[in-house]
Structure 1
């Protein structure tokens, strides 16, 4: 879909910000640009939508040379998310989300429908559409910034360190959200980051840059297993390099079967299931086994006086990972968030497994830290 051929940017004085860049990005692929400060990653990104004009080379999207398009028209056809978010403070969330569709002259009903569908995707109430950015938290504003890039249904999304200024928990949540939306909607994403863990977690392929040139362009697994040279090894860090021995690498290798309950069941049904299965948490699913929330002993205790329904008592804000997620990422999330478990869902949001804190203790040494000494492991385990 996106092809960069012999792309270069030379500034006054002969400084080469990007030097003969050649990569191809397939439709629906998530590619991360990463490198040292001044490596050219942001310049490369901004040349794609012609916010920076290349000195030489060619950029094609679906075979069409972008230099043949009006720059403004081009930018409206490409989603763009930056670190500063850039929400308009005087506009409602609805108007912020539909800013580009408005420029594209969509009718009112079409714009409203897009805003309502998108805000549902990020688990925010529809009532938020009529609020203003200042009434939302920083993390919620960042979600809206992501939605705005998706609102006009552009196939290509550019993201320039969009989560760099956020706290670790909010950042982790938004990374999961972006990856989930990208996979569900089939978007092509080019993502600039300075964080290798973020690149490994999100990207299908990583483009490592140094002094304006591509040092290695490959999948995260191949880069971790076979770094191209000493620079890449040092840039990755020895603690991330894959140990040369067989081990579980993704959540699918170690997940167990979760205990579930359906939406229409009662709290009495839930209690009986908990007692029978000897668990303190049930995962709530609909008729298609799609994850809707979870129900804990604490939920039942606090909500039983108010309702007898699982659907009313359950906690809807449930943290989950997609199948195929790297096990190392899931371990970090469990420790960082102090979670007891993480449900695993497929691309259709169907519940397919469960990673538990207790379960990973037996596998974490071999799988994640190899032969490191026990005293070097996180104390939370």
Structure 2
């Protein structure tokens, strides 16, 4: 779909910001460009939509050389998300979302439909479409910046360190959102980051750059197992390299059986099950096994005192992971968000298992440190 051949950018006649890189990107792939400051990753990204013109080499999209395209039309055909979000303060959220469709002369009906569809994708109410950016939180603005890049239905989305200025929890949430949207919509995402954990979590393949050159281009697992050279090994860090000892790679390998009830159960039923199974959290599902929410002891005590039903007091906003997600990502999420447990679901939201903080102790050592930390006795 996207073919980069011998791409070079020279400044001042001799400084090679990008030095003869070549790579092919497939339709629907998530590609991360990563490297140290000045490695050429952002320059390479911006040459794809001709915000920076290449000195030599070629970029082809579906077999067509972008140098033969009108640069303005090219940019309108490629989504673009930057770190500063770039929402226009004098426009409403809806007007911000449909900025490019407006330039493409979409009908009002089509723009309205697309704006509602996209804001629902990021779990924000449609009433926000009439608000202005200053009325939204930073994380909400960032969500709008992401979906704005999807509004014109472009096949390629460029993202230039979009989450670099965010706090860790907001950043983690938006990473999850971007990955879900990319898979759901089948778009090709090309993402610049300086954070190796972010690249490993999001990308299907990672392009590691140094001094303008492409040092290694491969899947996260292959890079972690077989770094191309000492630079890559040092850049990844010994703590991230895949160790020989752990053989658990996905969430499915490490999950335990969750305790759950269907939504038609009474609070007395729930209390009896929690007492019998000695758990302080229980998950609520539909009859088909799909996850609805969860309850903990505090919720049940409050609900019992107020005479409420299970369905009225359960938490519906549940952070969950897929059974084929990488285990290392889930370990880091539990640590970053200080979660006790995360339910595991399949593609149809069927509750399959549970990852808990307590059953990850050994895996944390293997996945994060790679060995027993100093001062911790081995069992």
TM over 0.5: yes
Match of 1:170 in 2: 170
Match of 1:145 in 2: 145
| Structure 1 residues 171-250: aligned runs within 5 Å | 171-250=171-250
Gapped runs of 5+ residues in structure 1? none
| Structure 1 pair 288–83 and aligned structure 2 pair: CA distance change class (3 A) | farther
Match of 1:53 in 2: 53
| Structure 1 residues 55-134: aligned runs within 5 Å | 55-134=55-134
Shift of residue 139, structure 1, vs aligned partner: 1.0
Give a deviation string over 1:117-146, Cα, whole Å, max 9, x none.
222222222222222111111111111111
Of 155-164 and 270-279, deviating more is: 270-279
Kept in 1: contact 2:303–2:310 (CA 8 A): no
Match of 1:28 in 2: 28
Of 15-24 and 263-272, deviating more is: 263-272
Give the match's secondary structure for 1:90: coil
Give a deviation string over 1:140-184, Cα, whole Å, max 9, x none.
111111111112222211000000001111111111111111112
| Structure 1 pair 50–325 and aligned structure 2 pair: CA distance change class (3 A) | same
Of 195-204 and 64-73, deviating more is: 64-73
Give a deviation string over 1:199-221, Cα, whole Å, max 9, x none.
11111110000111100001111
1:283 equivalent to 2:283? Answer: yes
| Structure 1 pair 109–345 and aligned structure 2 pair: CA distance change class (3 A) | farther
**Number of equivalenced pairs:** 377
Shift of residue 294, structure 1, vs aligned partner: 2.3
For 1:112 and 1:267, the matched residues in 2 are separated by 43
Give a deviation string over 1:320-361, Cα, whole Å, max 9, x none.
223332222212221222211012233344433210112112
Match of 2:15 in 1: 15
For 2:269 and 2:153, the matched residues in 1 are separated by 43
Give the match's secondary structure for 2:375: helix
Match of 1:319 in 2: 319
| Structure 1 residues 215-364: aligned runs within 5 Å | 215-263=215-263, 266-286=266-286, 289-303=289-303, 308-364=308-364
| Structure 1 pair 20–343 and aligned structure 2 pair: CA distance change class (3 A) | same
Shift of residue 267, structure 1, vs aligned partner: 4.3
Of 21-30 and 127-136, deviating more is: 127-136
Of 298-307 and 194-203, deviating more is: 298-307
Of 282-291 and 120-129, deviating more is: 282-291
Shift of residue 312, structure 1, vs aligned partner: 3.3
| Structure 1 pair 149–238 and aligned structure 2 pair: CA distance change class (3 A) | same
Give the match's secondary structure for 1:13: coil
Shift of residue 369, structure 1, vs aligned partner: 3.2
| Structure 1 pair 235–365 and aligned structure 2 pair: CA distance change class (3 A) | closer
State the TM-score, normalizing by the size of structure 2: 0.92
Shift of residue 235, structure 1, vs aligned partner: 0.9
State the TM-score, normalizing by the size of structure 1: 0.92
Gapped runs of 5+ residues in structure 2? none
For 1:109 and 1:54, the matched residues in 2 are separated by 39
Shift of residue 89, structure 1, vs aligned partner: 1.1
Shift of residue 367, structure 1, vs aligned partner: 4.9
Give the match's secondary structure for 1:151: coil
| Structure 1 pair 99–256 and aligned structure 2 pair: CA distance change class (3 A) | same
